[in-house]
C-alpha cells in the first residue's frame, strides 16, 4: 500500500520514525507523502481536462 493511499498509514509511519529519532526516515515519509500529493493533484487536473 502506498503511503498516500491512507493518511493514517503515513501518520503511523511518521510517528514510528519520530519515536525512534530517525530524522532520515521522517524526511523520506514527508517527501513521499508530498510527492504523492503533487502527483494526485496533477492526475486530478489532467483527468478533469480530459473529461471536459
List, for residues 1-52, the tens digit of each pLDDT value: 455 456 567 778 888 888 888 888 888 888 888 888 888 888 888 765 555 4
Domain extents in the chain: 7-51
Q: What is the pLDDT of residue 35?
A: 83
Annotate 15-52 with three-state secondary structure.
Answer: HHHHHHCCHHHHHHHHHHHHHHHHHHHHHHHHHHHHHC
Amino acid at each position: 500500500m502506498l503511503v498516500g493511499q491512507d493518511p493514517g498509514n503515513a501518520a503511523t509511519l511518521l510517528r514510528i520514525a519520530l519515536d525512534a529519532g530517525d530524522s532520515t526516515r521522517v524526511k523520506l515519509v514527508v517527501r513521499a507523502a508530498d510527492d504523492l500529493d503533487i502527483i494526485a493533484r496533477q492526475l486530478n487536473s489532467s483527468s478533469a481536462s480530459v473529461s471536459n
